[in-house]
């Protein structure tokens, strides 16, 4: 039988795969391809031709993989290099040489500062000629009429004492010295954020020259000071005094503990205080009632007196503070 002609859809010569498919179709159409029952088996569909990489493509792929592996081997150890103690020491040394770090006293002052308040006691003005002259001079210096009342005071009312206090409870409980507020008809405290509020005395401990105040108004974010037992305090330990010497502040002075369990008698000889912390951080009138702190910003005591055998009553290197154990007991809540 004559083999039928194969017509290509393309004028080009069919590829080998197309020729093989045509041969299979011819074989299937021939009588020899029929089975015993005369049934012609359908031709097997040719497999679709796909991309088959040649030797050159395969070699190129191998070269590319080798390049990636080699480059990763060179790059990876540099990225994953272990940091040694020598590297750490060098980095720390470089930082210490190039960066200015705050002193321990500066860091301690930053911690305690939100808890420190200025305390002012007001009382009736003394009607002596000297007092009137001083008042006129202060008012004229401020550009006010000579007989005008002082700022924050009622007519005939003057500052009787200026000192410092420290907040120990976030509800506005403040520790200060009794001699700062004694005899005052009105007490005002100024918080770290500038808020000024009237305060009242809620407790006293005369034997330790301590007073407890309750502010009538407090800041929303008032932070109380942390207190630290003095049981392990030793001479030579670093301390700082924070307060308002001569009304200026808050001011910070640093020093060390000079001694423990000291005694102090007031210049008038009216009272003697015992079990005091002696320190050499500068303190002056106005520091009274302020905190004596360690380098963690924790309150160790309440500054209460300075020793000066002259009439100047300024600091010559010896200050005293009531231990915080006694001070906190004045508020009715011993912390230790």
Catalytic residue annotation: 179, 209, 288
Question: Quick one: tokens of 282?
Answer: 């500068």
Kindly report the number of other CB atoms within 10 A of residue 11's CB atom.
5
Helix (H) or strand (E) holding 89: helix 85-98
The answer to whether 216 touches 201, Cβ cutoff 8 Å, is no
| SS3 category, 34 | strand
- Give the span between the Cα atoms of 317 and 323, in whole angstroms: 19
- Containing H/E element for 173? strand 173-177
Helix, strand or coil, per DSSP, at residue 207: helix
Go through the chain and tell me how many residues it has. 336
Listed in sequence order, the residues at least 6 apart from 176 whose beta carbon sits closer than 8 Å to its beta carbon are: 119, 163, 164, 165, 166, 210, 211, 213, 288, 289, 302
Is 314 buried (19+), middle (13-18) or exposed (0-12) by CB count in 10 A?
middle
Structure tokens at 144: 């006010």
C-beta neighbour count of 12 within 10 angstroms: 8
């Amino acid at each position: 039988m004559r083999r039928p002609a194969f017509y290509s859809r393309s004028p080009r010569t069919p590829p080998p795969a197309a020729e093989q498919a045509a041969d299979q179709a011819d074989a299937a159409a021939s009588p020899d391809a029929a089975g015993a029952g005369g049934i012609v088996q359908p031709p097997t569909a040719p497999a679709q031709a796909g991309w088959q990489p040649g030797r050159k493509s395969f070699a190129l792929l191998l070269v590319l993989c080798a390049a990636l592996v080699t480059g990763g081997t060179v790059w990876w150890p540099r990225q994953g290099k272990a940091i040694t103690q020598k590297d750490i020491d060098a980095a720390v040394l470089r930082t210490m040489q190039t960066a200015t770090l705050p002193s321990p006293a500066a860091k301690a002052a930053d911690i305690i500062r939100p808890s420190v308040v200025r305390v002012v006691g007001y009382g009736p003005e003394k009607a002596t000629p000297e007092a009137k002259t001083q008042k006129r001079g202060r008012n004229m210096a401020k550009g006010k009429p000579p007989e005008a009342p002082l700022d924050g005071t009622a007519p005939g009312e003057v500052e009787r004492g200026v000192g410092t206090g420290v907040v120990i409870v976030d509800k506005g409980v403040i520790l200060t010295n009794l001699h700062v507020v004694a005899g005052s008809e009105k007490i005002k405290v100024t918080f770290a954020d500038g808020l000024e509020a009237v305060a009242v005395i809620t407790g006293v401990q005369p034997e330790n020259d301590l007073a407890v105040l309750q502010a009538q108004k407090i800041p929303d974010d008032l932070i109380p000071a942390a207190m630290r037992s003095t049981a392990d305090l030793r001479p030579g330990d670093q301390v700082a005094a924070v307060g308002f010497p001569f009304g200026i502040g808050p001011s910070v002075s640093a020093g060390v503990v000079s001694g423990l369990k000291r005694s102090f008698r007031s210049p008038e000889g009216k009272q003697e205080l015992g079990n005091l912390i002696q320190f050499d951080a500068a303190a002056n009138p106005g520091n009274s009632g302020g905190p004596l702190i360690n380098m963690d910003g924790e309150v160790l005591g309440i500054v209460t007196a300075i020793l000066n055998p002259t009439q100047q009553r300024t600091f010559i290197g010896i200050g005293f503070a009531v231990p915080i154990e006694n001070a906190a007991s004045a508020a009715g809540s011993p912390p230790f």
